[in-house]
Amino acid sequence: MSRRMPDRSHNFTYFVAEGFSNMFTHGFMSFAAIGITIACLLIMGTFSLVAVNANATLAKLEQDNEILAYVEDGLTEAQARALGHKILAVENVAEIEFITRDKALADYAAQYEDSTLFEGMESSVLRHRFAITLVDISLMRQTKEAIGGIDGIGRVNAYEEISSGFITIRNIAAIVSIALVSVLFLVSVFIIANTIKLTAFDRREDIAIMKMVGATDGFVRWPFVYEGFLTGLLSSVIAFFMQWGLYSAITKGISGNDIFSIITIVPFADIWQIVALVFVAAGMLIGVGGSLSAIRQFLKV
Amino acid sequence: MIRLTEVYKEYPNGAKALNGLNLEIGDGEFIFMVGPSGSGKSTVIKLLTGEVSATDGRVMVNGFNLNNIAEWQIPYLRRTLGVIFQDFRLIEKKSVYDNMVFAMRAVGASQREIKKRIPYVLKLVGLDGKSSRLPDELSGGEQQRVAIARALVNNPDTIIADEPTGNLDPRKSLEIMTLLKRINELGTTVLVVTHELDMVSRFDERVVMLERGRIVRDSAAGRQKARSSRQEPSGEAQSEAGAPEAVRESAKRGE
Ligand SMILES: Nc1ncnc2c1ncn2[C@@H]1O[C@H](COP(=O)(O)OP(=O)(O)OP(=O)(O)O)[C@@H](O)[C@H]1O
Ligand SMILES: [Mg+2]
């Protein structure tokens, strides 16, 4: 007997078997805990995916949403081009593209099917211009003013209302999903903890006996940790497939509708690994966290 | 070896359970602890198992100094002790054999050790042939034998029994006490808390008596004094004459 020596290797099969049988002893509560955890994961996942898509849409808009700075009429093309250095020197300017009057006219013409509209139109009625993209779209107003102050630049066009609107949407989505994630996370942990508390309460006498004969806290804790782990893992696997179905259905509806054409949809195939990873990690964290918080009070024997 | 020196225990509610208790139990001893209800007997046992800690004084148990024992060491202290209670505390859903397995697994015993040890211990307590019974298919005396077997199964240095015969009739009680004495003869130290003074008087063993949280009689004191001229630690005034009678009387008062 080596009873004063630390315990032998981790008895994995024993602990998992105990954890499994605990799950089945409280079949209904385990079922409820799994259901609630799935619901929480789905809500968390859905909101996070909304945020992901809002972000993708915004990134696309940021790319499209350029500032146009028109060069004053009196300048030659060479003088106008030279203004490019000054614009690049302005803070928050990412890239600029010089567009001559001729090119601008050609672009306009190309946009309209009825090209006769522009026939015979002189390119001199248009101005040379710079298409400017920004580093940070939220600083659009300040950047616009700085560019407007450059000698030789006339009007500066920017759709700051549109961009600030999208920024607001993104920020709200982010805040809501973070708040929701933390609340739902705690709710799930609480539910799983209570399910496992039932098991632990059922087995409080067994636990007291184990501790009396000299079981370590670790030994007593393991079956409950595995119970939580298995509950969380099962929930996350089911939730993942449900999320997949839900996402496919919703995105199919959106892409089939012209009103939503402004939204950039991230295909599930591009993100499934991350979704799976986050679900499994969250499920395991919820399960193990729940079991550890449940068992704590029963170890004080 | 167990040594309690000037031990005080005050519970959080202010109850003073032990008041300067001194007690030494050598390896291989058999000792009865008696005393009126509330005199602190169960508190002594809880101190020894590390369930409660002393407010003051020194507690040494089987090489562990409980004054500065770390939380993680308590399971290893408990593996040196086999504890038996009045209410048996068996797992009702498990067979006799599985109750044993449960106790051995809890301390990380291997399958091989389990297979070897359990039949030996069940035979020792006279339960071979009943290993597949559930606890409620056994008499009270048999259930207490299972509890004794479970206490023994991890081969402790010391057996501690808190009123092990409190729920049993006198004949069964005698059987249990005799079994504990036999276990002691095989080398295990045994401490038995009991109210049954008739029982105590049937055995010619050391008896200590508690009153208000101190030892007021120790049948070994005289012998110890004879061996060495050491001062009795409690310093309690004792009447040498008629000591067993006095023990019996004052213990009865507490019932
Ligand atoms: N957990 C506790 N909290 C507060 N007071 C306690 C606690 N346990 C025991 N006591 C008090 O400590 C004193 C000693 O109790 P203890 O249980 O040690 O007595 P005992 O000798 O075992 O009595 P009995 O023979 O009735 O079992 C009593 O006054 C009791 O009320
Ligand atoms: Mg008691």
Dihedral angle at the C-alpha atoms of B182, B186, B190, B192, nearest 10 degrees?
-10
Chain B contact probe: residue of A205, A213, A296, A301 with most B CBs at under 10 A: A213
Structure tokens at B169: 């009739």
Cα distance between the two ends of chain B: 30
Q: How far apart are CA B252 and CA B39, in angstroms?
A: 13
In the reported structure, the alpha carbon of residue B79 is separated from the centroid of ligand 2 by a whole-number distance in angstroms of: 22
Structure letter (DSSP) for residue A118: G
Q: Does B246 touch chain A (CB under 8 A)?
A: no
A10: β partners = none
Q: How far apart are CA B8 and CA B10, in angstroms?
A: 7
Residues in chain A with CB shorter than 8 Å from the CB of B109 are: 1
Distance (Å) from the alpha carbon of A204 to chain B's nearest alpha carbon? 11
- Does the distance separating the beta carbons of A205 and B51 come in below 8 Å? no
Q: What is the pLDDT along chain A (301 residues), one digit of tens a residue?
A: 444 444 455 678 888 888 878 777 777 778 888 888 898 888 888 878 887 887 787 777 766 667 888 888 888 888 888 888 888 888 888 888 888 888 888 877 776 666 566 666 666 677 888 888 888 877 878 888 888 888 888 888 776 666 666 677 777 777 877 887 788 888 888 888 888 888 888 888 899 999 999 999 989 888 888 888 988 999 999 999 999 999 999 888 888 777 677 677 888 988 999 999 999 999 999 899 888 888 887 887 6
Tokens 């697994």 sit on residue: B105
Residues in chain A with CB shorter than 8 Å from the CB of B52 are: none
Q: Are B67 and B59 in contact (CB under 8 A)?
A: yes
- By CA distance, what is A203's nearest residue in B? B91
- Does the distance separating the beta carbons of A219 and B108 come in below 8 Å? yes
Q: How far apart are CA B93 and CA B134, in angstroms?
A: 7
| Tens-place pLDDT, residues A119-176 | 666 666 778 888 888 888 778 788 888 888 888 888 887 766 666 666 777 777 778 7
Distance (Å) from the alpha carbon of A211 to chain B's nearest alpha carbon? 7
Q: Given the CA of residue B36, which atom of ligand 1 is nearest to it?
A: 25
Spell out the domains of chain A, with CATH numbers in brackets.
12-61+165-299 (no CATH), 66-158 (3.30.70.3040)
Complex prediction ipTM:
0.82
In the reported structure, the alpha carbon of residue B147 is separated from the centroid of ligand 2 by a whole-number distance in angstroms of: 18
Distance (Å) from the alpha carbon of B77 to chain A's nearest alpha carbon? 7
